[in-house]
Structure 1
Amino acid sequence: MSTTTAPTVRHSRTGLAGQLSELGVEQNGVLLVHASMRAVGPVSGGVRAVVCALRDALGEHGTLVVPAFTPENSDTSSHYLDRVRGLGDRAREAVRASMPPFDPAMSAAPSMGRLAETVRLTEGAVRSEHPQTSFAALGPLAGGLVAQHRPDCHLGEDSPLARLYELRAQVLLLGTGFDTCTAFHLGEYRVPAPPCRSYRCVVTAEGRRQWWEYEDVALDDSDFAALGADFARADDGAAVRTGAVGSSTSRLFRFTDAVDFAARWLPSHRGAVPVQALCHAPG
């Protein structure tokens, strides 16, 4: 008895660009992307072809933005806490001593995925200088978007997220869920009296590797999946468009809609629930 294996569908740059346009990606617009290449599936040309497809859909004057976060250089991040869980004091200190200081030109962002890293490394890309929650961007508005990212403001009014809000950017969840949606974090800054906490990371100051501690809004993405589900249902689903891109089910929506919804939703759903460590961005 013989068996036949179904051929693997391999997507093309042209096909992906067409799907992105059909989903509603705006020509000459600004697009923040969170992506799972595994969900997109095999693509001729690999991840670089996906970046090209995104830029094709955006057009010559469009701007592509991705997170380039670095939890690897912080000892208050969930990444670090997972890494040292069960280790003794000496082993923990060895991990801390091995952490490289943040360098916007050189520091990799492996936890953000292959597409984000490819955008960051593409010729012409620029990156904001926050030592934990930087963003990388390509396109004519990239420089202004990432400029003046204040080092003690992760994802608030002095970050690229506020600039994306002003530009009425779109957000594309390319095969990912709402739990990765950084737009919701700007909503956390816009609730009345948001709770704050301390953060610590390794930086270079005066030519030397140093630990730097600062206070900022206590970021918490533990309920973003529930927040996103309610956002997708609001107004009979008018705010969120869903469609196939490659093998993935992807979602597209306006950045302002997501932030405004989060700012309304969070105060009534969190209440006195203790703040959790940030999962998808450094803490």
Structure 2
Amino acid sequence: MRAVTQHPDGGDRVAAQLHGLGVERGGVLLVHASMRSAGEDAEAMAHALRRSLGPQGTLVVPSFTPENSDTSPFYLSRVRGLGAEARAALRAAMPPFDRATTPASPSMGRLAETVRLAPEAVRSGHPQTSFAAVGPAAATLLARHRPDCHLGEDSPLARLYEADAQVLLLGTGFATCSAFHLAEYRLPAAPRRLYRCVIAPDGGRRWWEYEDVELDDSDFAALGGDFERADVTGAVRRGRVGAAPCRLFPLRAAVDFATGWLVEHRVRAR
């Protein structure tokens, strides 16, 4: 693992930290970020990230929207303890997903919404687990996000895997690493469940139910810890960007390790 040295003040300092950490110029970068941890303005961070990637690089962020689903942990936590009437009122008021106007969930962080709002940004169309991106590869990476495939082979994560993207955890831990979800789809007989959310076909509003792999990030922190400890090639790089502790690593290596880890810790434990 390689430490990152500090650099003079200003945007150049943050861009230099990103370069020193190993962000590849001209590459594809998936970022999970906590601006509070970084101590930086989200717009300034987005600019620094794009500057470090260069004009041929592509910046990708998760722009998930659990607020429009009554099967999400977000909704279940909100209605816990409420009566039937209050639950019905909350459900009736849930806004439908609109790719152009629905903001990324606050839980995704300010950087995600900043990227989504960029004039040239592209967003995938999944009503719960969309991604937003800027850069020349954005449209290709985010195209054909099948609405009944959250984070599997028909999602941007699989395209990021094919593009040999990097993952940057900026002030966040492995528990937030969405790339690990792709490994869940690659497990034998992966458990499936029903999901439900509000969508806006042709400007209307209706509930839609679909079946997909059961997503479970409860063990991602442990998985990420083992991934980092098993790294003997220096693929996982650690340092600071702004004030935030960061990890940078290849998405493909993370998914490949996670697939084997989940077979050992989930499939064989069934």
So what's the TM-score if we normalise by structure 2? 0.94
RMSD, aligned α-carbons: 1.4
2:30 aligned with 1:38: no
Provide the rounded CA distance (Å) in 2 between the counterparts of 1:272 and 1:198: 24
Residue number in structure 2 paired with 1:61: 56
Provide the rounded CA distance (Å) in 2 between the counterparts of 1:26 and 1:82: 39
Gaps of 5+ in 2: 1-7
Secondary structure in 1 matching 2:205: strand
Secondary structure in 1 matching 2:228: helix
Residue number in structure 2 paired with 1:186: 182
2:215 aligned with 1:219: yes
Provide the rounded CA distance (Å) in 1 between the counterparts of 2:269 and 2:197: 26
Q: How far is the alpha carbon of 1:272 from its aligned partner?
A: 7.1
Of the three residues 78, 82, 91, the one matched with 2:73 is 78
Secondary structure in 2 matching 1:81: helix
Residue number in structure 2 paired with 1:108: 103
Of the three residues 224, 227, 232, the one matched with 2:228 is 232
Opposite residue 166 of structure 2, the aligned amino acid is: Q
Provide the rounded CA distance (Å) in 2 between the counterparts of 1:152 and 1:146: 15
Q: How many residues align?
A: 262
Using the aligned pairs only, state the percent identity. Answer: 67
2:115 aligned with 1:119: yes
Residue number in structure 2 paired with 1:16: 14
Provide the rounded CA distance (Å) in 2 between the counterparts of 1:118 and 1:13: 17
Provide the rounded CA distance (Å) in 2 between the counterparts of 1:209 and 1:50: 36
Provide the rounded CA distance (Å) in 1 between the counterparts of 2:179 and 2:70: 24
Provide the rounded CA distance (Å) in 1 between the counterparts of 2:266 and 2:69: 26
Which segments of structure 1 move beyond 3 Å, counting only runs of 4 or more? 271-274
Secondary structure in 2 matching 1:236: coil
Residue number in structure 1 paired with 2:262: 266
Opposite residue 46 of structure 2, the aligned amino acid is: V
Q: How far is the alpha carbon of 1:271 from its aligned partner?
A: 4.0
2:47 aligned with 1:52: yes
Residue number in structure 2 paired with 1:5: none
Q: How far is the alpha carbon of 1:206 from its aligned partner?
A: 4.6
Gaps of 5+ in 1: 1-9, 275-283
Opposite residue 243 of structure 2, the aligned amino acid is: S
Secondary structure in 2 matching 1:117: helix
- What pairs with 1:62-211 in structure 2 (closer than 5 Å)? 62-109=57-104, 110-211=106-207
Provide the rounded CA distance (Å) in 1 between the counterparts of 2:203 and 2:33: 35
Provide the rounded CA distance (Å) in 1 between the counterparts of 2:166 and 2:9: 24
Secondary structure in 2 matching 1:69: coil
**Is the CA contact 1:196–1:215 (under 8 Å) kept in the aligned structure 2?**
yes
**Is the CA contact 1:177–1:225 (under 8 Å) kept in the aligned structure 2?**
yes
Aligned CA distance change for structure 1 residues 74 and 17 (closer, same or farther; 3 Å): same
Of the three residues 250, 256, 275, the one matched with 2:246 is 250
Residue number in structure 2 paired with 1:281: none
Secondary structure in 2 matching 1:25: coil
Q: How far is the alpha carbon of 1:246 from its aligned partner?
A: 1.0
Provide the rounded CA distance (Å) in 1 between the counterparts of 2:250 and 2:239: 15
Secondary structure in 1 matching 2:194: strand
Opposite residue 22 of structure 1, the aligned amino acid is: G
Provide the rounded CA distance (Å) in 1 between the counterparts of 2:121 and 2:111: 13
Q: How far is the alpha carbon of 1:11 from its aligned partner?
A: 5.8
| CA displacement 1:129-187 (0-9 Å, x = unmatched) | 00000000000000111111000000000000000000000000001000000110000
Secondary structure in 2 matching 1:145: helix
Provide the rounded CA distance (Å) in 1 between the counterparts of 2:259 and 2:268: 16
**Is the CA contact 1:72–1:80 (under 8 Å) kept in the aligned structure 2?**
yes
Opposite residue 25 of structure 1, the aligned amino acid is: V
